[in-house]
């Protein structure tokens, strides 16, 4: 059977990639990822009979994370991981009964529901991985991976699938809470901070992805070496953690969201370290300065192994020497200051102010405009939407979709900026906590709050966050720029009827509907 992948928003023709990925994933790598996923289904079935081990937990989390869009483009390492999973299954007396071709083929609705669960679990695995490297593990979260993977080998009615998917959403909330505890436990409660987009002269390293532990190790290893560190993409919110503020060489943020990297890294005079997605096909003009670590792999790039010795990255930074003069880079709207750090700690401490403002009518509506950025046209919707929000409203945001508007200055409301960045995609947990606190304060259900979620999706972490929101009963979510190809018409109909999910239209029309 040939390649078929429809897990992300940029899938070919809005239907599925069959002759290589739009993302650049080769057919052999895609097939190896299916082989790995099927092997994990078989491992799950063996574990449910014989019990999990630390090794099986690690294999399942890392195996699922490996298959997220823009994480691993290297067939050889995916195959090696699949072999390790199979060996572990054999050790437990299991067999390779479930085949890769059963993953994404067959009855349209069953395939849609199975795929939704698999993609959600891939997203949750990323969060479980980040929590694990900071020493936080939740046995219920780990156990659910086996339950969910094993369920993929069984037949279920649509109702049973939906129940599983909602149960998964609840478990993913636990996983996001775990990661929140891991990040804040290790690095403190984020505090608002303004981050520059200017790059100073001299050697520098750009660090991309989500892994705060890798950032910490890089900051320690570069201290006193005359090398500046700049965050990229989803690493931007790291500036807000108190533990990182002591590193004076953590200077600012480089560039915009992931899909602009091929242009922004062109001839860059410094190395780039990818700790997680999103890495794109590497262009020759900067191929000698890309480094990967953890589950990220790209053929031909130097990989920093689990010993986390970043010496090759440091050597490259010193060799390249950086820019001769300050580079006045900006966000996509021309702004040069990005404010972040409005995670739950900060927003909750201002809860009294927010509640009073809502009661007095000074604050009419809260929008959560968040999710992934992406390459396809139509995403300027989010820029225009935020620009058009009335002055008596605020915009909470998270994940890399914010690069569409996070360099805008929309002024303040009641002493708070009108755009508040809550952090990375997993910090959706912060947004949920704030919404729950507000619903308690006003003694109404979350759906009765003057709050609308306007989400942009691209890859599978957005899928797991969306499933968590649905499992909490959130309705009336606006989703774009297009609907997932893996939702069959029947499954979409169920979700629309049950949760009133809406596809974004135009900012004018949507704002009018949201504000009544």
Interaction of residue 8 with ligand SF4, rule CB under 6 A: yes
- The Cα–Cα gap between 351 and 328 comes to 36
Chain centroid offset of residue 112 CA: 21
The one segment of 17-25, 218-226, 361-369, 412-420 that binds ligand SF4 by CB under 6 A: 17-25
User: Per CB under 6 A, does 486 bind ligand SF4?
Assistant: no
148-160 residues labelled b (16+ CB within 10 A) or e (exposed): bbbbbbeebeeee
* 473 neighbors 497 (Cβ within 8 angstroms): no
Tell me the window of 16-24, 192-200, 244-252, 381-389 that interacts with ligand SF4 (CB under 6 A).
16-24
CB-CB contact of 466 with 457 (8 Å): yes
For ligand SF4, give the closer residue by CB, 23 or 419. Answer: 23
Bridge-partner residues for 196, per DSSP? 337
Residue 22 is a binding residue for ligand SF4 (CB under 6 A) = yes
Q: For the CB of residue 380, give the shortest distance to ligand SF4 in the complex, in Å.
A: 21
Question: Which part of the chain contacts ligand SF4 (CB under 6 A), choosing from 15-23, 55-63, 238-246, 404-412?
Answer: 15-23
DSSP state of 480: E
Q: Residue 192: which H helix or E strand, with range?
A: none
| DSSP-based helix, strand, coil % in the chain, nearest 5 | 50, 15, 35
**341 versus 484: smaller Cβ distance to ligand SF4:** 484
10 counts as binding ligand SF4 under rule CB under 6 A? yes
Q: What are phi and psi of 232, to 5 degrees?
A: -140, 145
Q: Which stretch binds ligand SF4 (CB under 6 A): 2-10, 77-85, 113-121, 447-455?
A: 2-10
Q: Judged by CB, which is closer to ligand SF4: 117, or 314?
A: 117
Q: Does 413 bind ligand SF4 (CB under 6 A)?
A: no
Please, which residue, 170 or 299, has the CB nearer to ligand SF4?
A: 299
Interface pick for ligand SF4 out of 17, 149, 162, 462 (rule CB under 6 A): 17
Q: Considering the complex, state which of residue 10 and residue 393 has its C-beta at the smaller distance from ligand SF4.
A: 10
Our finding on whether 273 is near ligand SF4 (CB under 6 A) is no
295, 129 contact by CB (below 8 A)? yes
Select 258 or 367, whichever has its Cβ closest to ligand SF4.
258
CB contact at 8 A, 71 and 295: yes
Per CB under 6 A, the list member of 37, 45, 69, 72 interacting with ligand SF4 is 69
Best CA proximity match to 118, nearest among 179, 65, 81 = 65
Closest to ligand SF4 by CB, 16 vs 242, is 16
Both tokens of residue 213? 């532990």
Our finding on whether 21 is near ligand SF4 (CB under 6 A) is yes
Beta strands in 248-301 (DSSP E): 250-253, 272-274, 290-293
Q: Does 426 bind ligand SF4 (CB under 6 A)?
A: no
Element (H, E) at 469: helix 460-471
Site for ligand SF4 contains 236 (CB under 6 A): no
Q: Tokens standing for 86? A: 């199979």
Instruction: Answer yes or no whether residue 27 interacts with ligand SF4 by CB under 6 A.
Output: no
Binding site for ligand SF4 (CB under 6 A): 5-8, 10-11, 17, 21-23, 25, 30, 69
């Amino acid at each position: 059977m040939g390649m078929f992948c429809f897990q992300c928003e940029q899938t070919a023709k809005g239907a599925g990639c069959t002759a290589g990925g739009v993302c650049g994933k080769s057919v052999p790598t895609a097939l190896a990822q299916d082989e790995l996923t099927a092997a994990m289904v078989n491992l799950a079935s063996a574990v449910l009979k014989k019990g999990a081990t630390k090794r099986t937990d690690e294999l399942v989390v890392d195996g699922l994370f490996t298959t997220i869009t823009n994480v691993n483009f290297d067939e050889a390492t995916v195959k090696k991981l699949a072999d390790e999973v199979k060996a572990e299954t054999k050790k437990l007396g299991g067999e390779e009964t479930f085949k890769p071709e059963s993953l994404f083929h067959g009855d349209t609705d069953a395939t849609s529901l199975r795929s939704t669960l698999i993609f959600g679990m891939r997203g949750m695995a990323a969060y479980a991985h980040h929590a694990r490297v900071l020493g936080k593990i939740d046995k219920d979260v780990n156990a659910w991976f086996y339950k969910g993977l094993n369920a993929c080998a069984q037949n279920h009615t649509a109702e049973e699938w939906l129940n599983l998917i909602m149960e998964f959403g609840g478990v993913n909330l636990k996983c996001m809470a775990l990661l929140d505890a891991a990040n804040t436990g290790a690095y403190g409660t984020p505090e608002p901070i303004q981050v520059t987009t200017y790059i100073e002269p001299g050697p520098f390293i750009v660090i991309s992805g989500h892994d705060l532990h890798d950032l910490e190790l890089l900051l320690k290893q570069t201290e006193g070496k005359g090398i500046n560190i700049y965050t990229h993409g989803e690493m931007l919110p790291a500036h807000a953690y108190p533990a990182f503020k002591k590193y004076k060489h953590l200077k600012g943020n480089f560039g915009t969201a992931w899909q602009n990297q091929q242009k922004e890294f062109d001839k860059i005079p410094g190395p780039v370290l990818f700790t997680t997605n999103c890495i794109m096909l590497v262009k020759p003009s900067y191929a000698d300065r890309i480094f990967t670590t953890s589950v990220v792999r790209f053929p031909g790039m130097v990989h920093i192994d689990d010993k986390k010795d970043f010496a090759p990255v440091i050597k490259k930074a010193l060799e390249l020497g950086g820019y001769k003069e300050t580079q006045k880079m900006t966000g996509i709207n021309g702004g040069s200051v990005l404010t972040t750090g409005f995670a739950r700690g900060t927003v909750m401490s201002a809860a009294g102010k927010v509640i009073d403002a809502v009661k007095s009518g000074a604050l009419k509506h809260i929008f959560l405009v968040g999710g992934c950025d992406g390459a396809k046209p139509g995403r300027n919707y989010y820029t225009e939407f935020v620009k058009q929000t009335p002055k008596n409203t605020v915009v909470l945001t998270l994940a890399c979709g914010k690069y569409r508007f996070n360099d805008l200055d929309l002024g303040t409301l009641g002493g708070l900026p009108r755009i508040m960045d809550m952090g990375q995609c997993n910090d959706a947990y912060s947004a949920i906590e704030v919404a729950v606190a507000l619903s308690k304060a006003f003694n109404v259900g979350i759906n009765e709050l003057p709050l609308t979620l306007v989400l942009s999706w691209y890859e599978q972490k957005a899928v797991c966050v969306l499933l968590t929101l649905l499992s909490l009963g959130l309705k009336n979510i606006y989703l774009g720029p297009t609907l997932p190809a893996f939702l069959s018409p029947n499954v979409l109909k169920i979700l629309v009827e049950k949760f009133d999910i809406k596809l974004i239209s135009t900012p004018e029309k949507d704002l009018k509907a949201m504000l009544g």
